[in-house]
Amino acid sequence: MNSLFIIPARGGSKGIPYKNIKEFYGKPLIYYSLDLARQFTSDVNICISTDDKKIIECVNDYKYKVPFIRPMELSTDESGTYDVLKHALIHYNSIGENYDNIILLQPTSPIRKKEHINDSLNLFSTNIDMVVSVKESDANPYYNLFEEDHNGYLIKSKKGKYTRRQDCPKVWEYNGSIYLINTSSLLKYDSFGDFTKKKKYLMSQLYSIDIDNQLQWDFAEFIYNKIQNKEIIE
């Protein structure tokens, strides 16, 4: 299948300033996603979508040239990833490049392996909307997730008489690592929430770290170091 790898990298970041190009275990964070994409295709099929000159300079140093500068209206705190992906796809379609799917690699998930992408591709078919990486959730709506009723009392999010979490139906949580999206679905709908045909690709907790703040950054570097030194058995 013909895949377009998209790595979104906005300049603004409230949790960790310029986290996408901050050094993670010795090199800028965004390089990990770019390195992984380069194991599958050439740079012509890799799109780093960014609005920021510092990020452009950083990836230029890694011998990558950005195909366009992301518009400012798609680079605010309120901008959604879905619109960023659609904008990129339309750009490539306008220059005669057509793709079966998009593989979204967020820079904030640096701990991935080549086999994770291969396994996701094996699950993909043209009659589904998306294959998305997940982890088994620690919290469960049948057991320890609650909502407030009209009186302000906590009630379980889903009804069920379970006394042990192990007995509850399993639930899955997006881990932010891999989104494999049908390009037809991307152009047809307005958001990921409109997708009705989604398949999960289960990843372990070890590879499900999504960096949003400094504590998660420090933990991710700790885990990455353990993996590199083979101190963790998968």
Bridge-based pairing of strands 154-156 and 198-202 is unpaired
Question: What pLDDT does residue 51 have?
Answer: 94
* Angle, helix 29-38 to helix 53-60, in steps of 10 degrees: 50
pLDDT at 128: 97
Task: Assign 157 to helix, strand or coil.
Answer: coil
User: End-to-end CA distance of the chain, in Å?
Assistant: 30
Helix (H) or strand (E) holding 177: strand 172-182
The reported pLDDT for the residue numbered 149 is 96
- Kind and range of the H or E element at 47? strand 46-49
* pLDDT 10s digits, 169-226: 999 999 999 999 999 999 999 999 999 999 999 999 999 999 999 999 999 999 999 9
One digit per residue, pLDDT tens: the chain, 234 residues?
799 999 999 987 777 989 999 999 999 999 999 999 999 999 999 999 999 999 999 999 999 999 999 999 998 877 899 999 999 999 999 999 999 999 999 999 999 999 999 999 999 999 999 999 999 999 999 999 999 999 999 999 999 889 898 999 999 999 999 999 999 999 999 999 999 999 999 999 999 999 999 999 999 999 999 999 989 876
Per DSSP, the residues of 91-133 read: HHHHTT---SEEEE--TT-----HHHHHHHHHH--TTSSEEEE
Its sign, for the CA torsion 101, 103, 56, 12, is positive
Closest CA to 17 of 43, 41, 52, 42: 52
CB 149 within 8 A of CB 155: yes
pTM of the entire predicted model: 0.94
DSSP state of 50: B
pLDDT value for 206: 94
> How far is 226 from 208, CA to CA, in rounded Å?
15
Closest CA to 30 of 47, 7, 12, 51: 7
| Per-residue pLDDT at 11 | 85
Q: Which helix (H) or strand (E) holds 24?
A: strand 23-24
pLDDT value at position 234?
67
Domains annotated for the chain, with CATH where assigned, are 3-136+173-228 (3.90.550.10)
